Structure 1
Amino acid sequence: MASLSSSTTIPPLASSPFPSTTAADSTASTSSSSSSFKPPSSILIIGSGVFGLGTALALTRRDAFTNCSITIVDRSDPSQPGAFPAPDAASVDTSRIVRADYADPAYAALCDEAQIQWRKQDKPTDLGAQGRYTETGLIVVGDATAPVAPASGPAVVSEEPTQKVKLTGLDYARKSWANVQSLASGNPALAERIQELPNPQAIREALGTGGTSGAWGYINRNSGWANAGTSMAWLLEQVKNTGRVSFLAGTVESLEHDEATVTGAKLAGGRVLTADLVMVAAGAWTGSLVDLEGQALATGQVLGYMDITEEEQQKLGGMPVILNLSTGLFIIPPTNRVLKIARHAYGYLNPQTLPTAPLPVLPQLTSNKTVSVPKTSVTDPDLSIPAEGAADLRAALQEMIPLPELRDRPFTKTRLCWYSDTRTADFLIDYHPHWRNLFVATGDSGHAFKFLPVIGDKIADCIMRNCPPQFKGKWDWKGGDMTALFTEDGSRGGKPGLSLVDELGKLTI
């Protein structure tokens, strides 16, 4: 077996864009087991997305990990121009919403913390500089729909002891409205940038495109969007600058283990990597390595891109983001004459029989080889999105930006973006309960990117068995019967349980 080689230890840079956190600082969060934590001598991180890169950066800045070698392995090669991030990864392309607009106050506060970093733009090396972050505002709306039963499993909210209902999009919008008002209450300058939009006409006036959506909503001009691709390149550069992290290009086929301990990972081609601690942060691909049944599920989400003219860019470039939490449909302001329309939905499932079963939940068990895994244009260059999803995107465009010249304009390209979905849209950031030396960081649920400046530190806290108090229980490995999994946080549109293969068998656009 080949071991991970140690790397030279270099102190954190004095000019670090994020605050440095020492082991002593970390213990302030409280955890009964954190005092017994012993840092490993080597860590292998599988995946170089927001979770993987962010964690690596955070660990290099903690005294406890000064003598720990850190290696990231990913199928994309960061040393090759244009090869990183992988073109079918979640954290790529033109834009991602950055919002503190959450129904859950813990996530609202976490993004409020992240936005302090996103707003730094004075120097070219600041995260938000060079067009990486734009604050045009966000309109959050919901439709006036009656409460409905959850698709499956426990409900998010219970109105009556005998009747459980899920949070509707309008419920989510109203809770989010209350949370962002609370966050801004101590700062009049921020508070005045949040405005209720009590009816469709008010929404239309705030949107400024001639379109509208939803029955009620609000605009938060403290929210905006980030260029995902350039932000990931920025994060990669921060990690490289530490001199502490080694990168390997390779596809992980399986985890290596003995009776009850994960010891490393096996790459395509047969090479084996070993480490004291293995962290799997492979996004929607995590379930192909670790059995996540009942924990997280890979779902495909539709995106459409449309080329526009310079005149249309000038007209629409300053519009706010608009997000309808009842339908999941949203539009982000265009950049470089490309308009993006997307849907945050239950998503498509793509169950496939894998050549190698993922690591079972319990050492003495075997895993089912049939797992929902991403299907992307990397492996299928002719892949398009199903007609059902394309029709929804077209409807959103006509509703939110009803410009006659855009009505029948074809999409320049479409894409499936793959989430790692959990039932409540909480992340899964925890040690595996039944395998030693295995840590899992996944369950992005389609909303993790905005936390890029801060999530690495929170994951590092969890590695040190010091989970932030507000996320205890939320980020834990869950028990119980959770075999039928759909995200029921109130923010999803579409229909639950759609099969990608079945939908692709119908007419596509």
Structure 2
Amino acid sequence: MASALPLQNILSCPAHVLPDIVQTPIDVSQKPYKAPTRILIIGAGVFGLSTALSLSQRPEFAQTTITILDRSPETGVFPSRDASSIDSSRIIRPDYADPSYAKLASEAQARWRETEIGRDGRYTESGFILAADAGPLMREDGSPTGIAYAKKSWVNAMALAQAEGRPLSSVRLMAGAKRLARVTGVGEFADWGYLNDASGWADAEASMGWFYEQVIETGRVTFVNGTVESLETNEAERKVTGARLKDGSTISADLVITAAGAWTPTLIDLSSQAIATGQVLGYIDLTEEEQKKLEDIPVILNLTTGFFVIPPRNRVLKVARHAFGYLNPKTPSQAPLGIPGSEKSTVKPISQPFTHIDDPSLSIPEEGERSLREGLRRLIPWPELQERPFSRTRLCWYTDTATGDWIIDYHPYWQGLFVATGGSGHAFKFLPIIGDKVVDCIMGHCPIEFQQKWKWKAVDDIEKAIVTQDGSRGGEPGLILEDEFKRVSKDK
């Protein structure tokens, strides 16, 4: 793992003494690679769609047939409308406490800024305020807090500005709640933060639609609607040979790439590596006057609370909570694919997404709505907004890992099985480049700085609850979705 400076030095680092986060070791190894004849990608979200496009463009895979299988119930609609990537907006920023992700996000942002994907309103460089409440740098368990993450990110953001030839004034420190409120023109939403002029947001649904069209135009990729019941295996050869769908049909492949987002743990045993968590989103309709007042604000994120807002478009304001989220443990009809003979292969409850596709009348729990209201009061304390009903709410499902690192690696036991998941609520911004990184890893050329971060990890305590403790989450860990719904019913 690349490291900038010890925490105590980072927080007092002068602007002219910055960690070098742009010098990346180059993997010069030239391992021979033989492309499979047939590749099946399960999932048409960020990982799956971008991987398909990259595969179609690599000469090594010129003779490979590529199929994407997605659980979307609507024929010809990819990905499913309840995928986490199908939304009005997502934050695009290189503002990371981890220098490796900061550099990678800067690479992705250059694509958003300079290429076709970011045009026609799909990308807006509004500026971004990363902030936190005052408090200790570490939690009792030794994990960093939001203020620690924000201050590390500030140093890395300055280093990137310097490397990219931007003035350091493009990353402006804003200590104090009143100064933050004065600069943004909204509420006193945090105690410390900084503004990065070079960050912004993307229209997520429109960007996914554009990417889908790019994949279609290659003429190389076949799209199939269907839900996977299980992965097909040849146990004698310890090989995954394809997927069996719930309608009884099968799709065979020489390499299966599972990129099913929060549904991946129901297909492959990822015990204590990744878990599905439900995050709350709320949308409020604005007047034309309110739209004009807010459309030029920067994206605002308070890491201590997890609350964030993105500048409204088309008179709709989104307020959300980037938190530990809800768990939804349910026993699947059969165990996900594990290692034969391992206790991990037994059928046990797994947190599974529950969306408006499952129940069209679904709304977020009352706890979530109260929390969003609280966040709105701090972020935009206009009296006229406080009691205005949400025009709609949504549960967005992350695939969380304990460190926030993705899983991009071959399965350690089953041949012919590659895993690309664990987005942990921050993968979307990498849409323009993440497929290239996945294909690099498939070919045995994982970027050196991510070899340990993205590898399949053995975990000793399989009962450990997974929460992303990198300082980027707010709220309370361990909330159970069903309990929150029952609590509302009981209160009523």
Give TM-score, length-normalised by structure 1: 0.88
Deviations 1:366-419, CA, capped at 9 Å, x for gaps? 332421100111111222111221111111111111111101111111110000
1:138 counterpart residue number? 128
Contact 1:355 1:369 in 2 (8 A): no
Pick from 346, 355, 371 the counterpart of residue 376 of structure 1: 355
Superposition pairs of residues 126-275 of structure 1, within 5 angstroms: 126-149=116-139, 165-209=142-186, 211-259=187-235, 260-275=238-253
Contact 2:239 2:416 in 1 (8 A): yes
Compute the displacement of 1:148 (Å).
4.9
2:289 counterpart residue number? 311
2:368 counterpart residue number? 389
Compute the displacement of 1:193 (Å).
1.7
Q: Measure, in 1, the Cα distance between the counterparts of 2:370 and 2:421.
A: 30
1:38 equivalenced with 2:14 (yes/no): no
Pick from 452, 474, 488 the counterpart of residue 453 of structure 2: 474
Contact 2:53 2:435 in 1 (8 A): yes
Compute the displacement of 1:36 (Å).
4.0
2:444 counterpart residue number? 465
Contact 1:317 1:333 in 2 (8 A): yes
Contact 1:147 1:165 in 2 (8 A): no
Compute the displacement of 1:149 (Å).
3.9
Q: Measure, in 2, the Cα distance between the counterparts of 1:183 and 1:111.
A: 10
Pick from 116, 120, 123 the counterpart of residue 114 of structure 2: 120
**Identical-pair percentage:** 54
Deviations 1:295-330, CA, capped at 9 Å, x for gaps? 100000011111111111111011101000111111
Q: Measure, in 2, the Cα distance between the counterparts of 1:84 and 1:278.
A: 19
Compute the displacement of 1:364 (Å).
5.8
1:76 equivalenced with 2:53 (yes/no): no
* Residue aligned with 1:380, SS: coil
Q: Measure, in 2, the Cα distance between the counterparts of 1:30 and 1:189.
A: 29
1:107 equivalenced with 2:85 (yes/no): no
Amino acid at match of 1:67: Q
Structure 1 residues 169 and 355, CA gap change in structure 2 (3 angstroms)? same
Amino acid at match of 1:425: G
Compute the displacement of 1:335 (Å).
0.8
Which moves more between the two structures, 417-426 or 359-368?
Answer: 359-368
1:20 counterpart residue number? none
Amino acid at match of 2:136: A
Give TM-score, length-normalised by structure 2: 0.91
1:300 equivalenced with 2:268 (yes/no): no
Contact 2:85 2:204 in 1 (8 A): yes
Compute the displacement of 1:188 (Å).
4.8
Which structure is higher in helix share? Answer: 2
* Residue aligned with 2:318, SS: strand
Pick from 394, 410, 425 the counterpart of residue 415 of structure 1: 394
Compute the displacement of 1:35 (Å).
1.0
Superposition pairs of residues 82-101 of structure 1, within 5 angstroms: 83-101=77-95
Which moves more between the two structures, 440-449 or 240-249?
Answer: 240-249
1:456 equivalenced with 2:435 (yes/no): yes
Amino acid at match of 1:355: S
Structure 2: runs of 5+ lacking an equivalent? 1-24
Amino acid at match of 1:98: I
Amino acid at match of 1:37: Y
Compute the displacement of 1:267 (Å).
0.7
Structure 1 residues 441 and 188, CA gap change in structure 2 (3 angstroms)? closer
Which moves more between the two structures, 374-383 or 295-304?
Answer: 374-383
Superposition pairs of residues 487-498 of structure 1, within 5 angstroms: 487-498=468-479
Amino acid at match of 1:128: G
Contact 1:421 1:446 in 2 (8 A): yes
Deviations 1:224-270, CA, capped at 9 Å, x for gaps? 00000000001001111111111111111110002121110001110
Q: Measure, in 2, the Cα distance between the counterparts of 1:323 and 1:419.
A: 18
Amino acid at match of 1:456: G
Contact 1:31 1:465 in 2 (8 A): no
Deviations 1:415-454, CA, capped at 9 Å, x for gaps? 1000000000000110000111100000000000000001
Pick from 49, 54, 57 the counterpart of residue 53 of structure 1: 49
Deviations 1:33-92, CA, capped at 9 Å, x for gaps? x61432111100000011001111111111211111111011227863xx3331210001
Structure 1 residues 386 and 77, CA gap change in structure 2 (3 angstroms)? closer
* Residue aligned with 1:319, SS: coil
1:6 counterpart residue number? none
1:505 counterpart residue number? 486
Contact 1:291 1:367 in 2 (8 A): no
Contact 1:430 1:462 in 2 (8 A): yes
Q: Measure, in 2, the Cα distance between the counterparts of 1:280 and 1:360.
A: 14
Pick from 242, 262, 269 the counterpart of residue 284 of structure 1: 262
Q: Measure, in 1, the Cα distance between the counterparts of 2:242 and 2:172.
A: 51
Structure 1 residues 488 and 170, CA gap change in structure 2 (3 angstroms)? same
